[in-house]
Amino acid sequence: MEFKHDAQTIRRLSQTQYLSFEKKYIFLQLIIGLAFLAFAVLHQDDTALFTLFALFGCWLMISWKQIPLFRANKIVRQCGGAFPTTVYSFGTKGIKTSNDSSAMVPYTEIIRLVEDDEYVFLFINKEGAYMLRKPNNSSAFQKYLTEKTGLEWIKPRNVFFLSLKQLKAERNNTKK
């Protein structure tokens, strides 16, 4: 399989990484945003304070996507239009990757399998993943990787739509 990144895929990878591993920061940002909104309600008599607290609280509530977007845009600028292409070969013991150099990634080094509608993400740590377009035989491919890694596939979910059960399943389905 071959995969060529572009600005859009780098942004998607960054957002998926953030949703997959940084939920505590997203929750923290939401809680701080709610606190600012509460302060705004408490200071309704002072228009300036109310406006300041309300605007900042609302901004915190809706801006959680800015951190992964900032990180991705930094990488896009560093690439300067020369986005990497990686060729993947899936063997019995691991994945051989080839771009500027070659490497062999044993299946035991994959810590989490994530999928969305178009892509699969094979995380080797919290900051690094291999990204591929879903192949035509996606279910067979995903079953193969599940067998090789011992991990189940997870969908990146927005924290607004998570349950404690899903959080626990994600934690239990990630290698340390």
| The pLDDT value given to residue 158 | 66
pLDDT at 163 over 70: no
Largest Cα separation within the chain, whole Å, is: 68
Q: What is the mean pLDDT of residues 112-127?
A: 92
Instruction: Tell me the C-alpha distance between 38 and 59, whole Å.
Output: 14
How does pLDDT run across 76-110, given as a tens digit for each residue?
999 888 888 899 999 999 999 988 778 899 999 99
The 10s digit of each residue's pLDDT in 3-15 is 999 999 999 999 9
120: left (phi over 0), alpha (psi -120 to 50) or beta: beta
Over residues 14-36, the mean pLDDT reads: 88
Cα separation, 21 vs 110, whole angstroms: 14
Q: pLDDT by residue (tens digit) across 45-73?
A: 999 999 999 999 999 888 888 888 999 99
CB atoms within 10 A of CB 152: 13
Query: What's the pLDDT band for 168 if we cut at 50, 70, 90?
Result: confident
The residue that leads in pLDDT, 135 or 122, is: 122
Query: Which residue pairs from 151-154 have beta carbons closer than 8 angstroms and sit at least 24 positions apart in sequence?
Result: 151/110, 151/111, 151/112, 151/113, 151/175, 152/113, 153/113, 153/114, 153/115, 153/120, 154/20, 154/112, 154/113, 154/114, 154/115
